[in-house]
Amino acid sequence: MSTSAFVLPVSLALHLLTSAAPGPQNTATAPSQEPAPKSPATSSVKAAAPVVSKLSAAQQATAAKLVGPALAEGHSYARLAELTDGVGPRLSGSESAEAAVQWALRSFQADGVKAWKEPVKVPRWVRGEERGEILPSERTRGLPLALLALGGSAPTPPEGVTAEVVEVSSLEELAALGDKVKGRIVFFNHTMAEASDYGRFAGLRGRGPAAAAKQGAVAALVRSLATASLRTPHTGSTRFDEGGPRLPAAAVSVEDALTLHRMLQGGTVKVRLVLGCSELPEADSSNVVAEVRGREKPDEVVLLGAHLDSWDVGTGAHDDGAGVVMVMEAARLIAKLPQAPRRTVRVVLFMNEENGLRGGRAYAEAHAKELSRHVAAIEMDSGGGRPLGVSVHAGAGGEALLRPWLAPLEGLGAAKFLVGHATGADLSPMEPARVPFVGVRVDSSRYFDVHHSMADTLDKVDPQDLSRSTAAVTWMAYALAEAPGTLARPTAPESDTPPPAKK
């Protein structure tokens, strides 16, 4: 398909660049991330002075050269099609993940951006056969379950596991049952309905199966963490202690979770579960790093990050193909400028965010001596929705420094500061170095409709929304690299800082 199908008309792109911001928009839901899991927090617009452009004529001309093409050329969507339809799902350690590394290197080379690989050792978990069913009883002829094994799950015996189901809605409720879960399948149910619920319930998936294993359960089922479902299960990672007990664990669709809940109200329910997943030896993989070297202060780095890996279901379009192409496009457009910005803009495509965070940790270790010269970092891992605004985690004066540079985002509806986290999972290993974080927040209110599911495919990404967020990321990267001053370093890691009061 021609990229012309994906682009905004040039006239509309220029109108967006020069017009006032649209009317009020939904500013909730960009995920605030920790190593695992990702968890969107509700955002609100800060009470701030109106944005007044103090940019010079030359800076405004540069904005036009960055924002205009990001909106009008459709390059980010065409590249996302290459990644999702061409490479496909990219679970770390797989052949497809290595293919994605090579694709990224070729793409940067085609863009004229210097790029290289940095080694990362990653886990190698492989999904196998997976099926389950509610067994026949006096109340049912039996029902199949729509499910996906959780990343890190142990396999069942070849014949599967058959046991009674016990339902819990929290880790505390599980602990209170004590030995009563021994020999049973623990079903973790919850009521996730909107994106902001993710952080409330993600621990059931991440830590629940391990807790159930310690109490003698034989398997675990977790209601999918989803905001929409057409009987679509959503996978994700679960974590077991080194040397501790492991068990088979799977996510069931929302509909099947509701069925289990109803049937358990009427009596005993038995389930048969068959999972053929396996844990292979760790694999050699890579982060992909690229940069546009700064003209005056090349040792000062503005980092743009996204994760190249995805789950092995769907094609990782929103999570995190959209983030990947946004930051790649930022590098391409900045590299085309007649004059590079003052500081270096570095793009890092991290490997193994989804089931280990090895890439983020490897980068922080390999670059430990220069993290003090990382003057800002942006991570894009909230999907391909439209831009909402900017969040900042820095020392005093951060918003004042950035406020004049927001003017080119007026036409995108993103020239505002938002309350909430600015970091991301792959940036979190840099927190001890007090790297300032800037979040270019996107609308992720529907992100968990498809997150970690077979439905996370290219058709779910709106080309114009992706272009708008690409434009916002590109401009903010340039602004941070070109501004005369830099953000003051934060006095504490963001994870230790309580969210500001909403206004």
**What pLDDT is recorded for position 41?**
43
Q: What tens digit of pLDDT does each residue of 193-237 get?
A: 999 999 999 999 999 999 999 999 999 999 999 999 999 999 999
**What pLDDT is recorded for position 53?**
58
**What pLDDT is recorded for position 453?**
98
Model confidence at 317: pLDDT above 50? yes
**What pLDDT is recorded for position 376?**
98
Strands 343-350 vs 297-307: parallel, antiparallel or unpaired: parallel
280, 355 contact by CB (below 8 A): no
Residue 309: cis peptide before it, omega within 30 degrees of 0: no
Question: What is the fold, at CATH topology level, of the domain defined by 128-276?
Answer: Glucose Oxidase; domain 1 (3.50.30)
Q: What tens digit of pLDDT does each residue of 464-486 get?
A: 999 999 999 999 999 999 999 99
**What pLDDT is recorded for position 46?**
57
Q: What tens digit of pLDDT does each residue of 121-138 get?
A: 999 999 999 999 999 999
Q: What confidence category does residue 421 fall into, taking pLDDT thresholds of 50, 70 and 90?
A: confident
3-state SS assignment for residue 379: strand
**What pLDDT is recorded for position 406?**
97
Tokens read off for 340: 């590079």
Q: What tens digit of pLDDT does each residue of 45-79 get?
A: 554 444 555 799 999 999 999 999 999 999 999 99
- From the candidates 130, 353, 354, 482, which is the catalytic residue? 353
**What pLDDT is recorded for position 79?**
98
C-alpha–C-alpha distance, residues 441 and 462, integer Å: 16
Tokens read off for 428: 């979190």
- Per-residue pLDDT averaged across 344-351, rounded? 98
Strands 219-223 vs 249-252: parallel, antiparallel or unpaired: parallel
Question: What is the fold, at CATH topology level, of the domain defined by 57-124+281-482?
Answer: Aminopeptidase (3.40.630)
Q: Is 459 exposed, middle or buried (0-12, 13-18, 19+ CB in 10 A)?
A: exposed
248, 213 contact by CB (below 8 A): no
Model confidence at 36: pLDDT above 90? no
End-to-end CA distance of the chain: 46
- Per-residue pLDDT averaged across 328-344, rounded? 98
Model confidence at 17: pLDDT above 90? no
414, 387 contact by CB (below 8 A): yes
Tokens read off for 190: 């919850």
353 is catalytic: yes
Q: HSE-up of 355 (CA within 13 Å, CB side)?
A: 28
**What pLDDT is recorded for position 54?**
79
**What pLDDT is recorded for position 158?**
96
Model confidence at 500: pLDDT above 50? no
**What pLDDT is recorded for position 420?**
87
Q: What mean pLDDT value characterizes the chain?
A: 91
Which residues are registered as beta bridge partners of 168? 188
308: nearest Cα among 277, 286, 337, 339: 286
376: nearest Cα among 346, 352, 405: 346
Q: How far is CA 247 from CA 67, 211, 402, in A?
A: 50, 10, 49
For the chain, the structural domain boundaries read 57-124+281-482, 128-276
489, 394 contact by CB (below 8 A): yes
**What pLDDT is recorded for position 175?**
98
